[in-house]
Amino acid sequence: MISQFFILSPQRGDTLIFRDYRYDIPRSTPEILHSLLNPPSPSLSSLPPIINRDQVSYITLTLSNLLFVATTRKNVSPFVVLEFLSRVGGLIKDFCGGLSEEMVRLNAGLVYEILDEILDYGYLQTTSTDELKTRVFEDPIQTRQENIIQTISKIQPTLGTALERTLGGNNTPSSTRPIISTRPSSTKKESNPNANVGQVYIDVIERVTASFAANGMTSNAEITGEMKIKSYLRGNPEIHMTLSMMSLGEKIEHEYGSQHGLLLNNYRFHDSVDFKEFESARKLIIYPQEGEFIAMNYILNTDVRLPFRIFPSVTLLSPPNQMHIVVRIRCDIPRDRFSNNVIVTTPIPRSTRSVSFDLPDGGTAEHDVKGKKVKWVIEKITGGLEMSLRIKIISTKDFTGVNILEVGPIR
């Protein structure tokens, strides 16, 4: 049960969207929440996802540098509300063609129309794009930058590579066009209504979480991934897909892939996916919705091949108020590939007075005095290469073995 929903622009402190459903909470909640950010440079990373003030729960989610917030006085599941906030961001992206502050400002009327359809007196009704497209009638207003395509180079280890081979290696970026309208053609305002028709976009996004010992060996590693689909096929025909490089848990099937393929420890499919033949033949039948949706979530924690390895070392110097830290990173991807904008963050002792850097292999480093950490930015690193950062720290007091524990974890 949600009392209020609003979208904040943290940089300006503006309330872009505000809807009060139950009128049991003061309307000053956006100002209260914005005051919790760090002035004068608001930091979304410093804001916890759940905040309680004056018996009001603020549940927040950051999407595209915008703060999506739901407030309530009731005992609700925070995970359900966070999923709802994520889905609202997805609906805005589907109907408006993108998600940004300018897009929300230009399409405020359309956003309010969507909110009125998905919530009734604070109770969730639906977040299905297919259902809403027959109830939402306002046309989107495109931003001036709608034709600018930003290509982001990303590493796609394991499943991304397998899907690329399965789908023929076409790695087309996702479109930012609004969902295909079912309204009469006289109401359409698009200059090219046939753009993207007959195409389907598939994106694989993976997040790697790993822990390393001091000698660089992997303590544990896990990959969580999702397969997103955005379809512009006329009539929404079913899509048949075979993921031939996959195995499930310990059921190693040598006929799939060169060895045993990818061992999925856990997986989940969208309601629109028929996976009856997935365990036996790795086949999926997808009945795509209009708009973007996550067709599959999965987890891999067996035989994970990590793209990077980190080798840290800490040495106490003489005089005893000095410390020397060396961070080496090795890129374990194929030599014909590279990674852009790699950021390595190293926490340092709280008693640090001054920091100096040595970058023999390139990159840039900066000392975050307030956060007590050093951020190392590597613009480009090619597979098989190793780079290092040397940090010399001078403290306000003598270092001990306890201070060494303050170095890390390196992220």
Mean pLDDT of the chain: 76
Contact (CB, 8 A) for 219 and 212: yes
**Packed helices 78-96 and 108-118: angle between N→C axes, nearest 10 degrees:** 140
- Looking at 3.40.50.20, 2.40.160.40, 2.60.40.1170, 2.60.40.10, the CATH number of the domain 159-174+195-300 comes to 2.60.40.1170
Fold match flag (159-174+195-300 vs 308-404): yes
> Given a cut of 90, is residue 97 above it in pLDDT?
no
Across residues 347-376, what is the average pLDDT?
86
- Looking at 3.30.450.60, 2.30.30.30, 3.40.50.2300, 3.40.1110.10, the CATH number of the domain 4-132 comes to 3.30.450.60
> Given this model, what pLDDT does residue 323 score?
86
pLDDT by residue (tens digit) across 116-157?
899 988 899 888 888 888 888 888 887 654 433 333 333 344
Which is more confidently placed, 154 or 298? 298
**Cα-to-chain-centroid distance, residue 156:** 14
Q: How far apart are CA 90 and CA 127, in angstroms?
A: 9
> Given this model, what pLDDT does residue 293 score?
80
> Given a cut of 50, is residue 183 above it in pLDDT?
no
> Given this model, what pLDDT does residue 349 score?
86
How is the chain split into domains, by residue range?
Answer: 4-132, 159-174+195-300, 308-404
pLDDT by residue (tens digit) across 159-171?
444 344 334 444 4
Please state which architecture CATH assigns to domain 308-404.
Answer: Sandwich (2.60)
- Residue 212's Cβ-side half-sphere holds a number of Cα atoms within 13 Å equal to 21
Q: Quick one: which of 140, 91, 111, 68 has its CA closest to 289?
A: 91
> Given a cut of 70, is residue 158 above it in pLDDT?
no
Q: How confident is the model at residue 180 (pLDDT cuts 50, 70, 90)?
A: very low
pTM for the model stands at: 0.48
Q: How confident is the model at residue 72 (pLDDT cuts 50, 70, 90)?
A: very high
